[in-house]
C-alpha cells in the first residue's frame, strides 16, 4: 500500500473521522483508524461501536495511488503526526509486518500498524426507507433539543432524542425528567411512512458538528438498530436506543394561570447576573416573583456564603395571578440559548408545577418545559 496526498485535504477528513474514536475503546483495535486504498479512492474509517464514521477521498491530482492495500494505525499518534508534518504533501507506505512509513520534506516517521482484516465491519443498512433532509434543518432541530437529554445512564432511553419523521414534519423530543425540549419543523418531502428513531445525544452532537454551518443535503437511512446519515463523502453511523420513549405530550400543560413575555436578551442578562451568586452556593436556585397587581417582575439569587442579588426585570406583557416560583437557572439559560425568536413567553400554573417557555410567534412549534424546585 503506497500513496501520496495533499496534507490539508487529508487532515480535514481525518479530523472528522477522529470524532468517532474513543480514548477508552473497549475493543483495542478500535483505538485505531482504518485506511483502505483502492485504485479509485482512499477510505478512512473510525468507530467506537456507538458511532462509526467512514470518509471516501476520491483519487485526484491531490491523491496519487502507487499500490493498493489496507492498514489500521493508532489514531491519536497518527493524527498528531499528520498535524505536525512540515510539507504541503506527504507520502505513505506500508512495508513488511505492517510497519508504516510517513515522509514529508525532511521528516520521516515509522509507526507500527495492525492487520485491517481484524477491524469490525460496518453494518449494512438498506436504502428502502431512506429520505433526504437539509443539513440546516437537521442541525437546527438537534441543537434545539439535544442539550436536554439525560447525562446519567440510569434511564438509558432518556439519554437519546426521540425523533418522529413523517411526510410533512420532523418532531424531536428530549427530556432528562427535570426539563423537556420539543421542537417540530415542517418538511417538504419527508419519508412516505412515519419513522420513529431514538438517537443517542452524544451521536447527535457529533453529527451536528460534522454538518457544520454549511447546508449540505443529508440522506437518512434508518435500520433496525443503526442509522446511517450520508453527507457528501461522509457516512455517519449511529446506534439507535431500543425501547419505548415515554409519552411526553401529556406532561405539557394546556392551560396557564400566569403568563409573562420577556425580551430574550433582557431575561438572559438578568439570569446571568442572578446565577453568579447561586453557582457559588450549594443550592443553585433562583426565585422569580411575578407581581401582576403592581406589574413588576423580580429575580432573586442567594448564596448563604457570599450574599444575594435582587433585580427587577423588564417585560413586555404580564397577565394572570400573582406567583412566586423557584427553579434551576441553568435550565432556563439553556432554554433561552436554544430559543429561535427574540422574545419568549413563559406560562405558569402553580408554584410547584412545571412551566413552559415558548416563542412569542404562534407559527413556531417549539415548547420547553422546566420543573421548579421546592424551597420550603
Mean pLDDT of 87-97: 94
Q: pLDDT of 244-255, one tens digit each?
A: 999 999 999 999
| Model confidence at 375: pLDDT above 80 | no
Phi/psi at 101 (5° precision): -105, 125
The predicted-structure confidence for 265-301, as pLDDT tens digits, reads as follows 999 999 998 888 888 767 789 999 999 999 999 999 8
- Residue 107 binned pLDDT confidence (cut-offs 50, 70, 90): very high
Same-fold call for 2-118 versus 131-239: yes
CATH topology of domain 2-118: DNA Polymerase III; Chain A, domain 2 (3.10.150)
Alpha-carbon torsion angle 211, 231, 156, 182, nearest 10: 60
Please tell me the distance from the alpha carbon of residue 69 to that of residue 96, in angstroms, as a whole number: 12
Average pLDDT over residues 333-345: 95
Banded pLDDT at 49 (limits 50, 70, 90): confident
% pLDDT > 70, the chain: 99
Q: Which of 153-157, 176-180, 196-200 has the lowest mean pLDDT?
A: 153-157
Nearest-10 Cα torsion for 327, 328, 332, 334: -160
Domain boundaries, the chain: 2-118, 131-239, 252-370
Cell representation of residue 285: 436556585
Give the C-alpha separation, 137 to 109, whole Å. 43
Inter-CA distances, 198 with 204, 240, 261, 312, Å = 11, 6, 33, 41
CATH of region 252-370: 3.70.10.10
- Convert the pLDDT of each residue in 182-241 to its tens digit: 999 998 877 888 889 999 999 999 999 999 888 889 999 998 899 999 999 999 999 999
Q: How far apart are CA 68 and CA 330, in angstroms?
A: 53
Shortest CA distance to 346 belongs to which of 254, 264, 259, 267?
259
Of 3-17, 22-36, 102-116, where does mean pLDDT reach its minimum? 22-36
User: In the predicted model, is pLDDT for residue 71 greater than 80?
Assistant: yes
Task: Name the pLDDT band for 303 (thresholds 50, 70, 90).
Answer: confident
- The three cell numbers locating residue 337: 440559548
According to DSSP, residue 120 is labeled P
Task: Tell me what the mean pLDDT of segment 170-186 comes to.
Answer: 95
Q: How many residues does the chain have?
A: 376
Matching CATH number, 131-239, of 3.40.50.10680, 3.10.150.10, 3.40.50.1860, 3.30.530.20: 3.10.150.10
138 in helix, strand or coil?
A: helix
Say how many C-beta atoms besides its own lie within 10 A of residue 56's C-beta: 17
Q: What is the mean pLDDT of residues 312-332?
A: 95
Check the CA dihedral 60-64-65-69 and report its sign: negative
Asked whether the CA dihedral 259, 262, 268, 274 is positive or negative, the reply is: negative
What the block records as the C-alpha cell of 113 is 500498524
CA distance 17 to 119: 15
Q: With contact defined as beta carbons under 8 Å apart, do 177 and 152 qualify?
A: no
Nearest CA among 18, 57, 14 for reference residue 38: 57
Summary mean pLDDT of the chain:
93
Provide the Cα torsion 231, 232, 233, 235; round to 10°.
20
Q: Which pLDDT score, from 0 to 100, does residue 376 have?
A: 63
Are 189 and 167 a contacting pair, CB within 8 Å? Answer: yes
- Parallel, antiparallel or unpaired: strands 234-239 and 226-231: antiparallel
Confidence check: pLDDT of 42 > 70:
yes
Amino acid at each position: 500500500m503506497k500513496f501520496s496526498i495533499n496534507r490539508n485535504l487529508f487532515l480535514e477528513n481525518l479530523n472528522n473521522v477522529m470524532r468517532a474514536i474513543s480514548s477508552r475503546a473497549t475493543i483495542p483495535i478500535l483505538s485505531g483508524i482504518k485506511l483502505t486504498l483502492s485504485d479509485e479512492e482512499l477510505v478512512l474509517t473510525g468507530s467506537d461501536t456507538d458511532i462509526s464514521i467512514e470518509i471516501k477521498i476520491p483519487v485526484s491530482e491531490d491523491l496519487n495511488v502507487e499500490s493498493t492495500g489496507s492498514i489500521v494505525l493508532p489514531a491519536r499518534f497518527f493524527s498528531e503526526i499528520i498535524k505536525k508534518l512540515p510539507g504541503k504533501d506527504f507520502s505513505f507506505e506500508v512495508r513488511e509486518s505492517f510497519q508504516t512509513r510517513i515522509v514529508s520534506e525532511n521528516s520521516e516517521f515509522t509507526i507500527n500498524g495492525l492487520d485491517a482484516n481484524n477491524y469490525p465491519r460496518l453494518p449494512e443498512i438498506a436504502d428502502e426507507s431512506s429520505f433526504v433532509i437539509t443539513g440546516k434543518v437537521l442541525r437546527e432541530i438537534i441543537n434545539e433539543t439535544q442539550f436536554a437529554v439525560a447525562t446519567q445512564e440510569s434511564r438509558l432511553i432518556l439519554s437519546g432524542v426521540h425523533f418522529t419523521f413523517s411526510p410533512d414534519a420532523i418532531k424531536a423530543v428530549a427530556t432528562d425528567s427535570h426539563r423537556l425540549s420539543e421542537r417540530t419543523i415542517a418538511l417538504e418531502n419527508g419519508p412516505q411512512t412515519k419513522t420513529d428513531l431514538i438517537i443517542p445525544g452524544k451521536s447527535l452532537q457529533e453529527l451536528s458538528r460534522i454538518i457544520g454551518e454549511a447546508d449540505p443535503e443529508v440522506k437518512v437511512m434508518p435500520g433496525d438498530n443503526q442509522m446511517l446519515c450520508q453527507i457528501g463523502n461522509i457516512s455517519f453511523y449511529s446506534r439507535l436506543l431500543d425501547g419505548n420513549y415515554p409519552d411526553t405530550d401529556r406532561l405539557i400543560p394546556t392551560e396557564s394561570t400566569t403568563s409573562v413575555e420577556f425580551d430574550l436578551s433582557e431575561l438572559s442578562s438578568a439570569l446571568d447576573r442572578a446565577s453568579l451568586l447561586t453557582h457559588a452556593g450549594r443550592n443553585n436556585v433562583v426565585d422569580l416573583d411575578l407581581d401582576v397587581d403592581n406589574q413588576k417582575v423580580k429575580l432573586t439569587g442567594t448564596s448563604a456564603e457570599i450574599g444575594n442579588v435582587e433585580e427587577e426585570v423588564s417585560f413586555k406583557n404580564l397577565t394572570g395571578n400573582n406567583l412566586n416560583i423557584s427553579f434551576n437557572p441553568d435550565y432556563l439559560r439553556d432554554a433561552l440559548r436554544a430559543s429561535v425568536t427574540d422574545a419568549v413567553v413563559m406560562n405558569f400554573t402553580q408554584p410547584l408545577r412545571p412551566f413552559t417557555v415558548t416563542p412569542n410567534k404562534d407559527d413556531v412549534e417549539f415548547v420547553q418545559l422546566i420543573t421548579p424546585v421546592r424551597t420550603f
